[in-house]
Amino acid sequence: MLAALLSLLVVLLFIRLAVYAIRQFLVWLRGGKEIEWLVRGNYVDTEYAEGLREYIRQTERTEFVEQVEGEVEGKRPRLTHDQRKALRKAHIRARDEYLDRVEINWYQIAIIFLVGSFLGLIIEEVWMYITAGLTESRVGLVWGPYSPIYGFGASFLTIFCWMLRKRGASKLAVFLVAMLVGGVLEQVTGWGMETFLGVVSWDYTNVPLAITKFVAVPFLFFWGALGLIWSEYIMPELIFLIGMPTTVRQVTFVSLVALYLVADIGMTVACFSRMAARDAGIPPQTPFQEWVDTHYTDQFIAARFQNMAFNNK
């Protein structure tokens, strides 16, 4: 029990650090400072606004002195506890006001897919190491540290939970829809991988209350709980942090990310397809297939996707 609690704390700490890193990156991508924006937008109560403006002025002066004269003596200015509370309240006010007006599109979904694929893989790796001592590679794509099942899960949960949020749905409705989304995603993905690519990434056959090879009741409840957490705490912050594209930097970056993800998924499918074809004795028919056979051999696939079972092996 103690080991399980400690492992959960480690995973939660990692999530917190990851969210902080993502927040800082998105602030840079927007090209602005969150505190300055909140104060300028009158989201902070009057009694704290001037103190926060002074904090911004002191920070800018300190940064200027450091750039021109080198390191300054003493500590950099810090926010008080009351100022931090005021900023948090202002952040929530600004977020809720923004979410009431915005509509999500490909821009937000592309970023959420990337973040979900990366963080989902890292959390799974950490969890498996703590609980089972496994250090095997659990990636789902040939390029980069990503597992697309988590990316698709995060994207679909976002789309459906956003629709429910706009309609003022109850928490029970969110829970049931998240269960359905997770079950359908696991069934379709697992069946498709096994049927068309000869690959099995998970198998619930021996799990209590298994419905199919790829769907089990305990994991449906997990998806439901995840949907509630996602809808209440994670999705609103992500959508607000990502925002809408307002600079060429943002559009360019996310467009390149989307193209990269499409290419990565396509290459992964091509690699598994050629592996199945090689086992069936089918020679390459195009220069591209010859290139895949040369650079993505069975040995490469087995070494990279260590947690997967291959039906043709």
pLDDT of residue 251: 85
As a whole number of angstroms, the distance between CA 181 and CA 272 comes to: 26
Residue type, 17: L
How confident is the prediction for the chain on average, in pLDDT? 80
Residue type, 148: P
CB atoms within 10 A of CB 145: 14
As a whole number of angstroms, the distance between CA 308 and CA 201 comes to: 5
The four Cα atoms 167, 169, 174, 180 give a dihedral, to 10 degrees, of -70
pLDDT of residue 287: 93
Give the containing element (helix H, strand E) for 209. Answer: none
Minimal CA–CA distance to 199: which of 279, 138, 276?
276
pLDDT of residue 296: 92
Burial of 91 (0-12, 13-18, 19+ CB in 10 A): middle
Confidence grade of residue 94 (pLDDT, cut at 50, 70, 90): confident
pLDDT of residue 68: 45
Tokens at 265, concatenated: 């998924």
Is the Cα torsion angle 55, 56, 62, 66 positive or negative in sign?
Answer: positive
Tell me the pTM: 0.72
Residue type, 245: P
Mean pLDDT, residues 10-30: 66
